[in-house]
Structure 1
Amino acid sequence: MTREHGAQPESGFRFLHAHHGRPLPELPLDHVDEAICDATHVREPHSHATLELLYVLSGRMIRTAGGKRTVIGPGDFFINPPREAHGAAADPADPPHLFAIGVDPVALAAPVFARDVDLAAAQASALVEIDPPFERRAIHGGQGAEVIYRRLLAELDRIEAADPRRRALGVAQVQALIVELFVFAARCSLAEPAVAVSAHAPERDVLRRLIGWLEGRLADPPSLAEMAARAGLSTAHFTVVFRREMGVTPLEYLTQRRIDAAGRALLEPGATITRVAHALGFSTSQYFSLVFRKVKGCTPRDWRLRGGR
């Protein structure tokens, strides 16, 4: 159920969802992707024309850049400056699931709809916060960033090509999400000393493990009570912790992941709406269509006819 746009898979590296090769010419965006490495993955030194902000959802990897080796794990961002050679290797004992975006943050620092000067200045400041020279490459405490990356990928899927007004709104939404991601990373960078001694650290570890478990339960979605029990927390406390760390409720997160998987499955040859609905644990295709439309803004049939846009 892989969705790729101009992406070439590498050995030991599998894209789950990718938009490559300047997917939106209106913005200085080079790529956005979600990928899984296997234990053998090694990436030879390479570079990008834009800054790359990488985020690790689970697992660990070794990044080599600027003559240094850095091990990054769950919740970590890693920054690669433009045109700097960098390499990577998966931890064979715990291969990573990661996200990446390549963008020129300085060129993006003038928001499309920011007519308020103070707002524009604040957004630009957050973008420049993690622009070169990057004294610290790794930023910790980014749990929950995958929600923003996935929203970006979903928005790129649905960009309207034919209607100029709809396209302009789509471009503005993508730009706003990129700004949101960089603001989030900048705030993590500024707060990092506090994260190291945070009382929430054990709960974040529990959630990281839970998120990995949920990825294997998309076709058999657990109840809120089952998720809470898996995390070892009461249902009420689990809901509070999950929303604090992820920005959405547990059931909202699970629904989004199931519909994201459904969106990719619908584009596979021979897929039917009923088959996809049942494969992802929906009792009827009618209910599946209602949920799909609420999340994606269109019916499954329209989604497929538009090629996932």
Structure 2
Amino acid sequence: MSFFQPHGLLAGFHSEAPEPLLPELQSIGEQWFPMRRQISSHAHKAWELYLQLDGVSRWRSRRGTIELKPGHLYAAPPGVEHRLIESLSTKHHFVFAIIDLDAISARLPGVASAWKLGEFITAEGAEHLEAPFRQLVREASMRQPHRAAGMRAALDAVVIEATRLLEAAAGALPGARLLTLHPAVQLAQNLIDNHPEKPWPLIELARLAGLSPNHLVNLFTHAIGMSPRQYLLRQRIDRAKHQLGTSDARITAIALDLGFSSSQHFAKAFARIAGCSARAWRERGMATVSRSAPRRSTANRSRRR
């Protein structure tokens, strides 16, 4: 197994064979690219799943050129060439995984039918993939008890969510509905979950949900246990914890990317919710990794793959 940071990244990592007990996960990474970054033409022996989290990128394959925006999934089948033409924004952030779908299908019967061998797959509305992808990155980047089992569970969740997305896009499944929450609460929660960096003033959430601000607050607080504003703050802090533990991005940059008005505002909110400073959180994670995680190569790599 190897962990390294390819040359030219703003932040992030790449890992090859991150867990010997989970050979179906061949590679994984989370990376922040500078503007105009390119990746030369390449192919893999297994499926590559690429989820755009922030920014815009343009890819080319035999199908032509596609433009990916936040919440877009791009899946490249085994053996098919593809390349990143360029990243079109200053905040190009993504996660990816190279997976052996045949091995995963052996324990998840039924998922393989949605993945057509030899065909590129692109899908919008993949925001729900972010949570399992983040969990997979977290499990892969830290050494902790039950690591292989945790990575396997997170990987299966990624594949299941991606399969649902593909089947829904093909009309094989109806869109998912959550019946335990009021539709307005579910809408507001999804908006915050998908874009916690936005300010989401209450009047805007209420307008989109079709309710008065007071009614939305009452419904949301009863269902979720906190107000929309409190929920937004906790989502931002959760994202910050993830980035602090899995990237070397500057703390100020993380704070501003997540919508905080200043590093001081972020520091106070983080300490109040997490119980320690952001720097202490990062150092605690680094100490855990340095004691027991696989060592990352210090050599620069010119390509991500």
Q: TM-score, normalised by structure 1?
A: 0.64
Residue 195 (structure 2) pairs with residue 210 (structure 1): yes
2:148 is paired with a residue whose SS is helix
How many Å apart are 1:90 and its aligned residue?
3.3
Deviations 1:177-207, CA, capped at 9 Å, x for gaps: 1111111011111222677xxx99x979955
2:196 is paired with a residue whose SS is helix
Q: Which residue of 1 aligns with 2:134?
A: 150
Structure 1 segments unaligned to the other structure (5+ residues): 111-119, 161-165, 214-225, 244-248, 269-276
Matches within 5 A, 1:161-180: 166=145, 169-180=146-157
How many Å apart are 1:239 and its aligned residue?
7.5
How many Å apart are 1:174 and its aligned residue?
0.6
Query: Are residues 33 and 242 of structure 1, via their aligned partners in 2, closer, same or farther at CA, if it must alter by over 3 Å?
Result: farther
Residue 258 (structure 2) pairs with residue 258 (structure 1): no
Q: Which residue of 1 aligns with 2:117?
A: 133
How many Å apart are 1:5 and its aligned residue?
1.6
Q: Which residue of 2 aligns with 1:159?
A: 143
How many Å apart are 1:42 and its aligned residue?
2.0
How many Å apart are 1:263 and its aligned residue?
3.0
Partners of 1:41 and 1:179 in 2: how far apart? 31
Partners of 1:250 and 1:131 in 2: how far apart? 35
Q: Could you tell me which amino acid in structure 2 is paired with residue 21 of structure 1?
A: E
Q: Which residue of 1 aligns with 2:21?
A: 26
Query: Are residues 157 and 48 of structure 1, via their aligned partners in 2, closer, same or farther at CA, if it must alter by over 3 Å?
Result: same
Q: Could you tell me which amino acid in structure 2 is paired with residue 25 of structure 1?
A: P
Which one of the candidate residues 202, 205, 219 is aligned to 1:229? 202
How many Å apart are 1:241 and its aligned residue?
11
Q: 2:234, 2:273 within 8 Å by CA — same for their partners in 1?
A: no
Residue 294 (structure 2) pairs with residue 306 (structure 1): no
Query: Are residues 42 and 265 of structure 1, via their aligned partners in 2, closer, same or farther at CA, if it must alter by over 3 Å?
Result: closer
Q: TM-score, normalised by structure 2?
A: 0.65
Deviations 1:83-126, CA, capped at 9 Å, x for gaps: 2211113353575321111111112334xxxxxxxxx4xx2322
Query: Are residues 240 and 261 of structure 1, via their aligned partners in 2, closer, same or farther at CA, if it must alter by over 3 Å?
Result: farther
Deviations 1:134-192, CA, capped at 9 Å, x for gaps: 545102221132221111111122334xxxxx4xx321211111111111011111222
Query: Are residues 279 and 73 of structure 1, via their aligned partners in 2, closer, same or farther at CA, if it must alter by over 3 Å?
Result: closer
Matches within 5 A, 1:259-278: 259-263=241-245
Which one of the candidate residues 155, 161, 164 is aligned to 1:187? 164
Q: 1:53, 1:102 within 8 Å by CA — same for their partners in 2?
A: yes
Which one of the candidate residues 77, 80, 88 is aligned to 1:81? 77
Q: Could you tell me which amino acid in structure 2 is paired with residue 71 of structure 1?
A: E
Number of residue pairs the alignment of both structures matches? 251
Partners of 2:55 and 2:193 in 1: how far apart? 10
Query: Are residues 29 and 239 of structure 1, via their aligned partners in 2, closer, same or farther at CA, if it must alter by over 3 Å?
Result: farther
Query: Are residues 43 and 147 of structure 1, via their aligned partners in 2, closer, same or farther at CA, if it must alter by over 3 Å?
Result: same
Q: 1:41, 1:90 within 8 Å by CA — same for their partners in 2?
A: yes
Deviations 1:236-275, CA, capped at 9 Å, x for gaps: 37789999xxxxx54553332232244358999xxxxxxx
2:164 is paired with a residue whose SS is helix
Q: 1:263, 1:303 within 8 Å by CA — same for their partners in 2?
A: no
Query: Are residues 94 and 278 of structure 1, via their aligned partners in 2, closer, same or farther at CA, if it must alter by over 3 Å?
Result: closer
Q: Which residue of 2 aligns with 1:58?
A: 54
Which one of the candidate residues 95, 102, 105 is aligned to 1:106? 102
Query: Are residues 240 and 6 of structure 1, via their aligned partners in 2, closer, same or farther at CA, if it must alter by over 3 Å?
Result: farther
Residue 67 (structure 2) pairs with residue 71 (structure 1): yes
Query: Are residues 40 and 257 of structure 1, via their aligned partners in 2, closer, same or farther at CA, if it must alter by over 3 Å?
Result: same
Query: Are residues 78 and 241 of structure 1, via their aligned partners in 2, closer, same or farther at CA, if it must alter by over 3 Å?
Result: farther
How many Å apart are 1:210 and its aligned residue?
3.4
Q: 2:35, 2:87 within 8 Å by CA — same for their partners in 1?
A: yes
Partners of 2:49 and 2:117 in 1: how far apart? 14
1:175 is paired with a residue whose SS is helix
Q: Could you tell me which amino acid in structure 2 is paired with residue 187 of structure 1?
A: R
Query: Are residues 264 and 36 of structure 1, via their aligned partners in 2, closer, same or farther at CA, if it must alter by over 3 Å?
Result: closer
Partners of 2:222 and 2:70 in 1: how far apart? 21
Q: Could you tell me which amino acid in structure 1 is paired with residue 39 of structure 2?
A: R
Residue 283 (structure 2) pairs with residue 287 (structure 1): no
